Chains A and B, each alone.
Chain A
Amino acid sequence: MDVRLPLFVVTPIFGAIIILLVGKWDKKIFPRVWSIITMAFLLLLIFLTWNKGTLLHFMGGWEPPYGIVLVEDSLSLLILLIINVVGFLSIVFSYSYILRYEDYLRFFSMFLLMIAGMNGVAIAGDLFNLYVFLEIASIASYALVGYGVGPEELEASFKYLILGVLASTLILFGIAIIYAATGSVSMADVARFLINNPGNRAVLLASGFFLMGFSLKAGLVPFHAWLPDAHPAAPAPISAMLSGVLIKVLGIYAMIRVFYHVIGITPMVSQIFIGMGGLSMVVGALMGFGQDDMKRLFAFSSISQMGYVMIGIGLGTPLGIFGALFHLLNHAGYKSLLFLSSGAIERETRTRKLSELGGLREKMPVTSAASVVGSLSISGVPPFNGFWSKLIILLAAFQSRNFLVAGIVVFTAFLTLTYYLRFQKNAIFGSVSEKVKGAHEAPIPMVMPLVIFAIFCLLIGVFNHTIISGIIIPAGQILLDRAGYIMSVLGGV
């Protein structure tokens, strides 16, 4: 029993309600300050529960398999760390960025609800709560994508909503089938039942539904239609959250938790993971080439980078899993950095088109330096973090003798480098264009998160060994040890 676990969900929901209540008197300063305080408290909470082994909380004192259980193991801890660090820095960034909109209250309260939903997904111990928290995060994100209420924002939001609802319904259907087949929704209990009674055909149907639903949420290639519209339409901090956190938590994390721990990974599912991963990598990278809109380019590169993670997970070897989880962490860092920097650039120059930008280096030196660090990291240039995770995934592909996959990994890394060089050449370097002439450096609350993310990219790259052995390997071991997960949740029950 650990009473701190529900706080991961309760604190942001409480913060969201307080913002709406106090917002009657103070509409401008309070929401911004209070959301920063809430996020700082969540970071403190992670620090307090750091490396304490697997923590459990039984809601209402009902023990599993009958009650609702919250689980925080090393894998959840890695995901919680990503959510709350990126969330904190995005909220700090919003402090100045929100000035261009009128309604502060709903922005920050929905932001906190999204955080609450994602934290809930990370610590949920049963399938139905996973679904409920997934929906909380999704509904908040649909509304936030359409926050600008312009025609394009609303269109993107509606597209995202339709596909998101389809994904959630498929996931709920999968959960219903699992319940019908096993008589339980507790993840550990279902896993134990399926180990004792193998060969259940209904589970295969449920796997199909889960695969479609979570791939839609993750924006993997056959299901990616919403992603390149939704990411550019959202306000910059929300794009950073969507790309840096939401597609990972609701898509990839939920998928690996369900497939590795609950249903159990089979060679067929692994092959599908590798297939979708390879397709996402190549298609995302190729689509990235033709984009003139900066944020659309980043959105397509998110699809491509999620492909790397899926390849690592699909390989299924310990090295592949470690590489995939490490890439998850790295991608959260540099993609959030790039989306936030695009927000800072758009605020100063009023454009996102690469053809209208140029010479930002002279007008916005700090933002430019940070986004150069981000693009070098994502292209996999050695001292930065992206290089190491791509290297590990490549080695894992060689180790398991998947030479075609290894070829695709190298080819996509080359493509990524090419289109990020194009971004740098057109936007950061070159001569100062018409629109950039009046630009200044962004205010401090916007520049600070960029600099912190850039330092993260560099430090994780330099001290990669410490990060891998301290955070990534424990999380990967939890993922590979299905029996250990069942034991740690159910105990001797």
Chain B
Amino acid sequence: MTLYFLDFVLFAIGIYALVAKRHIVKKILGVAIMEYSVNLFLILIGFKKAGVAPILTKDMDLVTFIKTAVDPLPQALVLTSIVIGLGTLALMVSIAIRLYERYGTFDMHEINRLRG
């Protein structure tokens, strides 16, 4: 339970950096922290203490297999979500570089030609 709570704290830190920080790179770091907290949450769902890889070998009976094997599905989901996170991160960083070329600053308060 403590682990889940700490994971939520990590998520909250990510959202805080995303919303409250003015520096673009800090915002991007916030997004990365937020994404990793979700990935961690997915991994925690499938985690078992002293678990084994979910491969059924001949010397293992089904009952101990179900008791000890970790859930493989969240791991597959996390792989996909990490790849997607990489894609967004790359796009974000490249837009940040272009923004710096145009405005000469990373401060979001000075990049304000549009108003919501």
Contacts and interface: CB of A to CB of B under 8 A. Distances in A.
Contacts of B81: 131, 172
A161 interface: yes
Contacts of B45: 176, 179-180
Nearest to A166: B18
Contacts of A225: 116
B31 A165 contact: yes
A162 B113 contact: no
Among A131, A156, A159, A162, max chain B CB count under 10 A is at A162
A229 B114 contact: yes
A132 B84 contact: yes
A161 B88 contact: yes
A71 B83 CA distance: 25
Interface residues of B, number: 33
A150 B99 CA distance: 9
Nearest to B97: A154
Interface string B44-85: 010000000000000000000000000001100100110010
B91 A155 contact: no
B13 interface: no
Contacts of B84: 132, 135, 139, 168
Interface in A139-162: 139, 142-143, 146, 149-152, 154-159, 161-162
Contacts of A161: 88, 91-92, 95
Chief secondary structure at chain B's binding surface: helix
A228 interface: yes
Given A135-B84, A155-B111, A176-B42, A162 B91 contact: no
B56 to A, nearest CB: 16
A149 to B, nearest CB: 6
Interface string B84-116: 100110011001101100110000000111101
Contacts of A150: 102
A450 to B, nearest CB: 27
B16 to A, nearest CB: 12
Interface string B17-61: 010000010010001001100100110010000000000000000
A233 interface: yes
Given A132-B84, A152-B114, A173-B38, 7 more contacts: A128-B77, A135-B88, A139-B87, A152-B113, A155-B112, A162-B31, A226-B116
19 contacts: A146-B98, A151-B102, A152-B114, A154-B95, A155-B99, A158-B95, A158-B96, A159-B116, A162-B27, A165-B31, A165-B88, A166-B15, A168-B84, A168-B88, A172-B38, A173-B38, A179-B74, A185-B77, A229-B114
